[in-house]
Amino acid sequence: MKLPRVSAVVAAAVLAPAVLFPSSAFAADVPQPAGVSGPDTASGSVPDAAPGDGVEHLALDASDPEGQEQRDRAEIQKILADPNTGPGVRAAAEKALKGGAAELRHFLQVDLAKNRMDDLRVKVSQALDQGGPAVRAAANKTLDAGGEAALLKFFAEDLPAAQAEDADRAEIQKILADPNTGPGVRAAAEKALKGGAAELRHFLQVDLAKNRGDDNRVKVSQLLATGGREVREGAAKALDGSDAEVAKWLAEGWPKAQASDDRVAVFVALSDKNTGPHTIEAAGKALSGTPADVAQFLRDLPKLRATDNRVKVSQLIETGGPAVRAAAGKAIEGSDADVAKFLAEGWATARAADEAAANKPADKPADQPAGQQDQGAQQPQTVQPAALTKTDDTTTGTTTGTGTTATATGSLAATGTEGLGWEAGGAAAALAAGAALVAVSRRRSARS
């Protein structure tokens, strides 16, 4: 009687233990084809086979019924001891052991084969539920056929082949998931996945190595064009060798050469006069660490430089001239690129504007006559040494910003020129000097 597919699935959920994919247990209860190994069964156990093919050798010995019963019971116990015995066979065997000679004999000649076929259908259902694409397709085909021959063929031939195909497909998908897989390998793998078992196997055995070698050479050529000195030298040497030598350099030589070039790049950054304190501090820590620390510093270098640039612009806002402060304030509100451009170009332009404004002459007063000299701008200022101040009838020297004004003691001490301009002050000083000369002349006349 053929077990419907729905019943087989229900039986798989209730009776069968969890089966991992790929599962060697699927084929454990059937004869294995040449070249396919299966688990050993207990000595004397009945192999899973079609009815009439597994128990005929247990001929009934009518002359020794008690001995026959003991031999049948021992045979059934061996079947139960086999870990590959399915749940249907196990249940029927345990039931038979509770009976007498007739029940033991009926189990071995009838129930054993029938329950083994049922257990095989359960395992096919498990394969359908848990297997890969190829295994599911083969299981569906077997369940559609439904016969005992199809069940035996599934475990003997179809299941191993489908498991191998699914394993190849999973391996190719793993290669595609690797970010280091090159474009040549990727294209060939995607093409293989569109085919069947033969295409999958050909890719893994032939196309993979060839395309991987080509991709490796392309990668080394790129490093030769863009790498540092150590990387370029190693890449050039590797390209002269075999595909195996190229692969070995990528796996071992390239990391060492890259670490050396990275350290050189850090020292180059430190030698830049514009390198700021944050960058210098991070570079020192990286050089004291591992090659991975140095590589991380180089990845962080743009961000570190941007931080130092903003610190410098903030300082210019505090200390620069009007034009520098205005340009710096505008730059710091922009992006890191705006800040860098200001420091490279805008700062010099703004500083020049501030210097020009500082050196520009003062504007003339609006009421100054044309042609009159600007005394404040053109009159040279000389600082005269202060004269000694004397009492009685001698003069007193007073130092001013434009020269020394002589005043006389007594009634001539105040000339009234403090609030006058440069010309009026000079005239008043001349009048005071004349009055002093007249006074001296009168004294001399009186003495004579």
- Dump pLDDT digits (tens) for 184-197: 999 999 999 999 99
Q: Which among 418, 414, 415 has a CA at the least distance from the CA of 428?
A: 415
- Dump pLDDT digits (tens) for 124-148: 998 889 999 999 999 999 989 878 8
> Can you tell me whether residue 78 is helix, strand or coil?
helix
- Dump pLDDT digits (tens) for 7-27: 443 344 333 333 333 344 444
Q: Which among 420, 427, 424, 390 has a CA at the least distance from the CA of 408?
A: 390
Average pLDDT of the residues in 340-365? 87
CA–CA dist 279, 307 (Å, integer): 9
Decide if 28 contacts 39 (C-beta within 8 A): yes
From residue 260, give the alpha-carbon distance in Å to each of 221, 234, 396.
19, 12, 82
Host H or E run for residue 407: strand 404-408
CA within 13 Å, CB half, 123: 27
Q: Which residues pair with 404 in a beta bridge?
A: 399
pLDDT at res. 35:
34
Q: State the sign of the Cα–Cα–Cα–Cα dihedral 215, 218, 224, 225.
A: negative
pLDDT at res. 65:
74
* Average pLDDT in the chain: 76
Structure tokens belonging to residue 330: 């505008």
Host H or E run for residue 396: strand 395-399
- Dump pLDDT digits (tens) for 70-86: 999 999 999 999 998 98
Q: Which among 77, 79, 73 has a CA at the least distance from the CA of 29?
A: 79
pLDDT at res. 169:
96
From residue 81, give the alpha-carbon distance in Å to each of 55, 94, 153, 299, 416.
18, 11, 26, 64, 138
Q: Is 422 exposed, middle or buried (0-12, 13-18, 19+ CB in 10 A)?
A: exposed
pLDDT at res. 369:
53
Residue 151 phi, psi dihedral angles, 5° rounding = -65, -45
pLDDT at res. 444:
42
Low-confidence winner among 107-116, 228-237, 273-282, 383-392 (lowest mean pLDDT): 383-392
Structure tokens belonging to residue 296: 């991380």
Q: Is 163 exposed, middle or buried (0-12, 13-18, 19+ CB in 10 A)?
A: buried
- Dump pLDDT digits (tens) for 408-424: 333 333 333 333 333 33
Q: Which among 8, 263, 258 has a CA at the least distance from the CA of 123?
A: 8
Structure tokens belonging to residue 134: 């190829």
Give the residue with greater pLDDT, 266 vs 5: 266
Domains of the chain: which residue ranges? 5-162, 178-267, 277-358
Structure tokens belonging to residue 260: 């050396």
By percentage, how much of the chain surpasses pLDDT 90?
A: 58
Residue 372 clears pLDDT 60, i.e. is over it: no
Cα 138 off chain centre by:
43
pLDDT at res. 365:
56
pLDDT at res. 382:
31
Can you say whether residue 121 is alpha, beta or left, with left for phi > 0 and alpha for psi between -120 and 50 degrees?
A: alpha
